[in-house]
Structure 1
Amino acid sequence: MTATKSLELQQIGEGLAGRDTRAEGETVLWLHGYTLDSSSFEEAWSFLPRFRHVGLDLPGHGGSARMTPGTTLRDLASRVVDVATREGALHLVALSFGTIVGLEVAMRHAKAFRTVTLAAPAIAGGPSDPEMARAYQRMSMLYRMAGRIPELVRMWLASPAWRGVETREGLRERLAEIVGRHGFEELLDRSRMSMFTGPPQSEVEIAGIDARLLILLGSNEMPAFKTCAATIERCVPRAKREELPGVEHLCILQAPEACARLIEAHLLAG
């Protein structure tokens, strides 16, 4: 794993924190996975030195404020676009959980970004992995019974979402450190997660996306995410799909060099 200097957390929007490489070049806005934060992308950024990278901590994650009940996915997409406008971001990259927000942005704000990259994409109201659903249920039960105890983090890191991270030296330990800072309060109050899960994103709406779209997927990805990727690729006229051999769910984190090459080509072509 390439050694990277951790970037300082800063406020980049109302109630929103993140990290900024402050490099020269066009600006790319990044959205992370569930229970992670913007620091999870720092190694991937080191392989994309031609660009400035701004990583946003999603609500309830990292340094950003808690998720507010009643806030919708559309509201969150608008906040992301506001940050992008202030920062001058021309490109959007999202991973896993963050792709639901990225997809909403691409659907509702057609001119906000020149290119969009969705890695391990999910769709609000779309297919879900049964094993992951069981993991969420077990975690919710444990949180209600015992609160936020270390076993909760261990249980989450044992779920299928994290398969493959052990193949990259130091990655599992680094991600476990980030997850260890997450509060998991959304497990007790599911309304706090509503902004990430609804309303459902329909194929008709997805088909209206006009941005140049790159889909990144590990060849060993969970079937539900492969189905989501296939749906997006089929619906979006300017979508291109790239599969990474031997890679699991968190493809940008497990294979940052390979993903960076594909992302760079996509950004430069945009």
Structure 2
Amino acid sequence: MNGLRVIESGTGPAVLWVHGYTMDSTLWQPLWDLLPGWRHIGVDLPGHGGSEPLRRGQTLPELALRLAAFADAEVAHRVVGLSFGSGVALQMALEAPEVVRNLVLAAPTLGGAPPDPAARRRYMELMTLRRARGAPEQMAELWMDSPPDIFRGTEAHPALRARLREVIGRHSWAELDTGAMAMLGMHRHPPEDLARVRARTTVIVGDSDMPVFTANAHTLQENVPGCELRVIPGTAHLPLLERPEIAADAVFQGLSLPEKVGKVI
């Protein structure tokens, strides 16, 4: 995909995967290994992994339309998003309902929902450290420290935590200099928009996730027609990464749900 790094694995019906903030598509492989029979396509979001920088002023609908066009070209009518990536995936379903027919949202992020207070404070601390020319490893350690509890669930999984530290340690943090993430975060997902989602939607949340994301999961369940909620035991904010051997079944069921009759015109 022009300007964006794409990683693929497997064969079968195509699934587009959208990762979380400061992550990249290499983190999906353990879960992909548990989901044979699909063509998994991971795309690094702008400003992440091997992709181009995030353009200042880009809106969430613009980013969603770009990814939806790519998904359409790849016949990837199934989309999985994690944390920030779930907000992108949700917007894809709103912008291009004819493309996104099965939608799996893990640790769901909703534009306009109350932010986690500790996460907001940590973001400001990251900006301060960035201005002080903090080293990449310092930025990664600060971001992964709890609270907020974004990465607390990984403390029980040393190999995953080390891998995350490696990936986040390569993150450029350029969006802190340009303010590019601020525009993406300005978009809102009111209930009336959620009611327009036509994709078969499955929401996945860890049983120990932060309250904000648990509330988001219930908001989606209440407002997205036919939305199914799956809770993954023994996980926190990153259930697909923390316990892929358990989360794989919920993802598989979400990808396998039949399309809604009369959805595509």
> TM-score, normalization: structure 1?
0.91
Name the CA distance, whole Å, in 2 between partners of 1:152 and 1:269. Answer: 40
Structure 1: give runs of 5+ residues left out of the alignment: 1-12
Letter in 2 for 1:112: V
Residue from 144, 150, 153 that aligns with 1:164: 153
Mapped pair 1:35 → 2:22: yes
How far apart are residue 220 of structure 1 and its match?
0.4
Aligned to 2:107: 120
CA contact (8 A) 1:127 1:227 kept: no
1:89 aligns with 2:76: yes
- When the two chains are superposed, the root-mean-square deviation of aligned CA atoms in Å is 1.3
Identity over the aligned pairs, expressed in percent? 37
Q: Distance in 1 between matches of 2:136 and 2:18?
A: 27
C-alpha separation in 2, matches of 1:177 and 1:248: 20
Aligned-pair distance for 1:162?
0.5
C-alpha displacement of 1:114: 1.9
Q: Given the superposition, is the C-alpha separation of residues 51 and 150 from structure 1 closer, same or farther in structure 2, using an over 3 Å criterion?
A: same
Distance 2:134 2:14 in 1: 40
Task: Give the length in aligned residue pairs.
Answer: 256
Question: 1:126-182: per-residue Cα shift (whole Å, max 9, x none)?
Answer: 121111111111111111122444322110111321011132351101111100110
Tell me the SS of whatever aligns to 1:174: helix
How far apart in 2 are the matches of 1:211 and 1:47?
24
CA distance in 1, matches of 2:164, 2:133: 23
Aligned residue for 2:132, secondary structure, equals: helix
Q: Which one of the candidate residues 141, 152, 165 is aligned to 1:176?
A: 165
Q: Distance in 2 between matches of 1:223 and 1:20?
A: 33
d(CA) in 1 for partners of 2:136, 2:103:
37
SS at match of 1:150: helix
The amino acid that maps onto 2:209 is E
Please say if residues 144 and 151 of structure 2, whose CA atoms lie closer than 8 Å, have aligned partners that are also in contact: yes
- Please tell me whether residue 226 in structure 1 is matched to residue 243 in structure 2: no
The letter for the 1-side match of 2:164 is L
Structure 2's unaligned 5+ residue stretches are 259-265
Residue 233 of structure 2 is matched in structure 1 by 245
Alignment partner, residue 177 of structure 2 = 188
Distance in 2 of aligned mates of 1:266 and 1:67? 30
Alpha-carbon distance, 1:108 to partner: 1.7
Distance in 2, matches of 1:18 and 1:148, equals 27
- In the alignment, which of 75, 84, 87 is matched to residue 62 of structure 2? 75
How far off its partner does 1:228 sit?
Answer: 1.1
Residues of 1 paired with 2:215 and 2:20: CA distance?
18
1:135 aligns with 2:135: no
Structure 1 residue 227 displacement after superposition: 1.2
User: Counterpart in 2 of 1:55?
Assistant: 42
Alpha-carbon distance in 2 for matches of 1:167, 1:132: 21
Secondary structure at the residue paired with 2:5? strand
Aligned partner letter, 1:98: G
Give 3-state SS (helix, strand or coil) of 1:67's partner: coil
Q: Distance in 2 between matches of 1:167 and 1:138?
A: 25
Instruction: Tell me how far apart the structure 1 counterparts of residues 49 and 136 of structure 2 sit (CA, whole Å).
Output: 18
Alpha carbons 1:127, 1:228 under 8 Å: kept: no
Deviations 1:215-234 (Å, cap 9, x if unpaired)? 00001010111111111111
Give the 3-state SS of the residue equivalent to 1:64 in structure 2: coil
Q: What secondary structure does 1:69 align onto?
A: coil
Equivalent residue for 2:205?
217
Distance in 2, Cα, partners of 1:29 & 1:213: 14
Letter of the structure 1 residue corresponding to residue 5 of structure 2: A
Provide the rounded CA distance (Å) in 2 between the counterparts of 1:52 and 1:195.
32
Aligned equivalent of 2:185: 197
CA contact (8 A) 1:217 1:249 kept: yes
> Per the alignment, in what secondary structure is the counterpart of residue 68 of structure 1?
coil
Distance 2:228 2:3 in 1: 34
Looking at structure 2, the residues matched to 148 and 187 of structure 1 have their Cα atoms a distance apart, in angstroms, of 14
Residues 71-91 of structure 1: CA distance to partner in whole angstroms, max 9, x if unpaired?
Answer: 111110111111101211120
